[in-house]
Each structure stands twice: as C-alpha cells, then as structure tokens.
Structure 1
Amino acid sequence: MHGPTSRPTLLVVAHGSRDPRHAATVSALRARVRGLRPGLRVEVGHLDFNAPRVPRVLERLSAEGARDVVALPLLLTRAFHAKSDIPAVLREASARLPRLTIRQAEVLGPSRLLTRALERRLAGAGLRPGDRRSTGVVLASAGSSDPEAIAVIADIAWEWRRTAGWCAVRPAFASASLPRTADAVRALRAEGVQQVAVAPYVIAPGFLPDRIAAGAREAGADILAPALGDAPELARLLLHRYDQALATATGAPAALPALTA
C-alpha cells in the first residue's frame, strides 16, 4: 500500500488489442520502466480488448490508498484517443473516485528518443552505419483521420531526414490516410534511391503493424524494422513524460533524459 507521501503512481494507458503480442509488448515495456526507476509504482490499464481496464485499475488504486495518479497514454501522436477517449474515461473515474487526483500526461511523440529508438530497430534489422546517405526511409505509422496527427508524422519525417542524414524520409500510413507503405517504397525506388528501409512508427505488433510489414514486403523494401516494442529509449521517454506531468503541476522544469543508448 502506498501512503499519501509516495510518488504518484504511473498508470500506462494502452489501447489494447485482440493480438496477444500487444499485451506482451506492453508488459515488457512496463518491466523496463520499473527497472529504470525501481521506487516508482507502474501500472497498466487498457481502453479495450484486454484486462485490466483503466477504470478497474483506478478503483483498485483508490481502494489501496493511492491519492495521486499520472495517466500516461501509450500513444505516439495526439489524435482521437488522446483528445477524446482517454480524457472521458479519466473524467468519469475522477467523478466516482473523488479522493484520487488523476493527471493526464502528454502523448509520447514527437521526441528525439523515438527517432533514436527507430534507428536502433533499423540497425537491428541489418542497416549498416555507413548506409544512411544511400538509404531512403519510409516512416510508417498506423494512420489517423486527425489532421494534426498526420501533420506531426510529416514533420517528424522532415526533421529526421535533416538531422540523421538519410537521403530521404517519407511518411506512410496503414489506415485512414495516404500513401500506404507499399506506395511510399515504390515512390522511393522510382526516384532512384539505392536502398529502401521501412521503419514502423508503432509501439506493439498487431493488425495495422502487420499491414505495414505486408506493404514493405509487397513492394520489396530492403530492410524492415520491427515495432518499437520495449526499446530502452521508449522506457526513458515514458518516465520523462511522467516527470513532465508532475513538473507542470508544480511549476518546476523537467530535465530531458540522456540520449545515450
């Protein structure tokens, strides 16, 4: 049981999936976050498909005497779930659990830590350090009907090319928006790019990440990275967003985590 002077609990809010790989990935990421900060209580709640659901976790925390929770969306862009679904769930829980203070942290992206994690995954998939100038990257996200989220992916692609030295970085989407992964791969080929790599901008395997992978294979991409998963950069980013949420509440600045991998 955590008393009122304890650090606020970190509640990672995952979307949930029928694919068991999703829950396994979230569990592995939670374990890595706990390893980075052993004194912090880290819980996971799901919006759909998986148990425990977010309201049930908050009820349990309140019953155990917790007084403060930082709810952190396990999302890479600020789209519908971050703007609507999660706030609605948290408001309803706050009304039922008046002794529990619940703060919603910012979504994970954009962040330099995420592009570092993408680079880690690409290297693990076979990209050599000296290949950047001859490699075009497809930054493949799940997709969204939210124009803000789509614009953020385009901005990340532009900035990643500028700072990392790729010959090109093109956004692509598994749903809701165009181009699809296969079309982006083909476009880079048509422009004469020597090597094409697909970097899925997704956290866990599932239906849409599988669609990204299928598009990469269909169009003959040279390198296909796996999902971000429990990359150490992602775990550090979760803790940074947690610290930011607390700093916002107190007016203190939150220090950026070290970028060494």
Structure 2
Amino acid sequence: MSAPDRPLLLIAHGSRDPRHAATVAGVVEQVRALRPGLEVATAYLDHCAPRIPQVAGRLPAAVAVPLLLNRAFHAKHDIPAALRAAGADLPVADVLGPARPRVADAAPATGPLPVPSPLLLAALDRRLAGAGLAVGSPTVRARTGVVLAAAGSSDPAADAATRAVAAEWRRTRGWAGIEVAYASAGGPRVPAAAAELRAAGARRVAVAPYLLAPGLLPDRIADAAAEAEADVLAEVLGAAPEIARLVLRRYLGACREAVAAPALSASA
C-alpha cells in the first residue's frame, strides 16, 4: 500500500458533551472533502465510541493523527498505550500545535520555542473574525489585546507550545498584546490576563479559546470572558478548514516518515 493510500485514523479525546463528537465529525467531513477517496476513521480515548481498540485492529496499515493541540500526557502516553493494548503498531503523526522533536520528550523545555503552523494561526484569525473582530485591519489589531485561553497542562512542554503560538501570533499579526490564560491547572485565568492587557494599553480585549471542540473547559472560558467583560469572545477552533488541512499535513508527514523508516533500517 502506497503512503497516500494508507487510511487516516483520527484519534480524539472524547467528551460526555455531544458537541465534541459533532465537531470531530465536522473535521472528518472537511478532511474527506479535501482528499476524496481517502479512508478516514475516528477513534476516541474516552467517553465516546468507538474506542481505539475497536478501530485500530481493523486498520493495520493506518496512520494515526491525534486531534490534539499539545504534545502532553494524552499524546505522549495515553494514545501509545491504547494502541499497544490494541496490538496496533501504527505510525503516529505529530499533534496539530507546535511541538519539539519527540526524542526530547523527557527533557526539560529548553532552547527556542517551537513554531506553530500558519494554518493554526489562520484558524485562530478565522474564529475571531467570525466573532465580529476586523482582524484584517492593522489599526484594529494594534488596539486589540488577545487572551489565548487554553485548557492548561502540568506538562511544561505543553505550556511552552501554547506560549509559542501566542508569540508567533502576536509577531505576525501585530496585536497590541497576547496573554496566555488557562481554564484548568496552574497559571493565570482569563480575567487576570485581560486585566494585564488593559493595563498595558489595549483598547479592546478579545478572548480566543485555544481548544478544538466545545465542552466543559470552553464553557468555563466563556464564563470567565464574561466576568472579564471581554469585548469579543471567539468560538473554539472546531471544524475550521485550516484545521482539516493541518490534519492532512500531519498525516502526509507521518506517511513519509513511515516510508523512510524501513529504508533507513535496511541501510543501517
């Protein structure tokens, strides 16, 4: 089976909130529209069906793509463990957000921050524009501070990756400022981040959830944005076209790696 013909197994976290599975289905629909003929299957880590063992075993030639923004515990441990338990030795693509080389997972986050894909930044732009912010105006951007509101993680590499998104988004768009806030774990919350932006001179404050699907944490971010009296609240990234394109980019990259690995082994 050639690399582009390998099935794509999209692995999502899962949630009791039905909006989560509906969003994943929307991403799958977008991926299929972008690449007609590609077999795309979905599996979940928790809460939703089908689970990884139910799907991975019948797709031995698939490439798994985590529908995750950060390479934290779910990507480093849960997904590999679930695939091993299913007896599936599948190539696993990188997460959608920026990530350091996987060989350094056990090392502290050091050196330059990883760079996010322009597709990820474009998806964030899209959601702010959909909420009514004139993101195409340099003047509006220069007066607007953005709270990039993530789920939060105890993994320092995940925190570094989120900060990398904030840094690159500000550098390339010229926002008045960007502060990272979290809906769980440690770190600042949305109201504190919004206050920092206003104190630094931002005329307006927009809250951009750095999350893929609706659920408990996005709802918590929305409540915090209301508490902070944010001027704009974007939707989650969801089934944005850029997210589907990023999924395909990760899939194709993992396909290339899978083809190259046997050749490297043979030449060793």
Residues 111-120 or 101-110, more deviating: 101-110
1:179-200 CA-to-partner distances (Å, cap 9, x unmatched) read: 1112111221222210111111
Q: State the Cα RMSD in Å.
A: 1.4
* Structural mapping, 1:157-196, within 5 Å: 157-196=166-205
For 2:51, the equivalent position in structure 1 comes to 53
For 2:39, the equivalent position in structure 1 comes to 41
- Tell me which amino acid in the other structure corresponds to 1:183: A
- Tell me which amino acid in the other structure corresponds to 1:238: V
* Structural mapping, 1:66-145, within 5 Å: 66-94=59-87, 101-110=89-98, 111-128=117-134, 129-130=136-137, 131-145=140-154
For 1:257, the equivalent position in structure 2 comes to none
Is the 8 Å Cα contact of residues 55 and 93 (structure 1) preserved in structure 2? Answer: yes
Flag structure 1 segments of 5+ consecutive residues without an equivalent: 253-261
Is the 8 Å Cα contact of residues 178 and 197 (structure 2) preserved in structure 1? Answer: no
Is the 8 Å Cα contact of residues 114 and 234 (structure 1) preserved in structure 2? Answer: yes
Flag structure 2 segments of 5+ consecutive residues without an equivalent: 99-116, 262-268
1:106-136 CA-to-partner distances (Å, cap 9, x unmatched) read: 1111221111000000011011122101011
- Tell me which amino acid in the other structure corresponds to 1:72: V
Count of aligned residue pairs for this structure pair? 239
| Structure 2: distance between partners of 1:250 and 1:53 | 27
Aligned identity (percent) is 57
| Structure 2: distance between partners of 1:216 and 1:190 | 17
1:57-87 CA-to-partner distances (Å, cap 9, x unmatched) read: 123x2xxxx4401111110010000000001
Displacement of 1:250 after TM fit?
Answer: 2.2
| Structure 2: distance between partners of 1:82 and 1:145 | 14
For 2:247, the equivalent position in structure 1 comes to 238
The answer to whether 1:204 aligns with 2:213 is yes
Is the 8 Å Cα contact of residues 8 and 67 (structure 1) preserved in structure 2? Answer: no
Is the 8 Å Cα contact of residues 144 and 176 (structure 1) preserved in structure 2? Answer: yes
- Tell me which amino acid in the other structure corresponds to 1:89: A
For 2:228, the equivalent position in structure 1 comes to 219
Q: State the SS of the aligned residue for 2:86.
A: helix
Is the 8 Å Cα contact of residues 140 and 171 (structure 1) preserved in structure 2? Answer: yes
- Tell me which amino acid in the other structure corresponds to 1:120: R
- Tell me which amino acid in the other structure corresponds to 2:83: L
1:133-189 CA-to-partner distances (Å, cap 9, x unmatched) read: 101111111110101100111121111111111111111111112111121112212
1:182-228 CA-to-partner distances (Å, cap 9, x unmatched) read: 21112212222101111111000000111111111110000000001
**TM-score, length of structure 2 as denominator length:** 0.86
Deviant stretches of 4+, over 2 Å: none
| Structure 2: distance between partners of 1:7 and 1:92 | 25
| Structure 1: distance between partners of 2:225 and 2:195 | 10
Residues 228-237 or 157-166, more deviating: 157-166
| Structure 1: distance between partners of 2:191 and 2:222 | 9
For 2:260, the equivalent position in structure 1 comes to 251
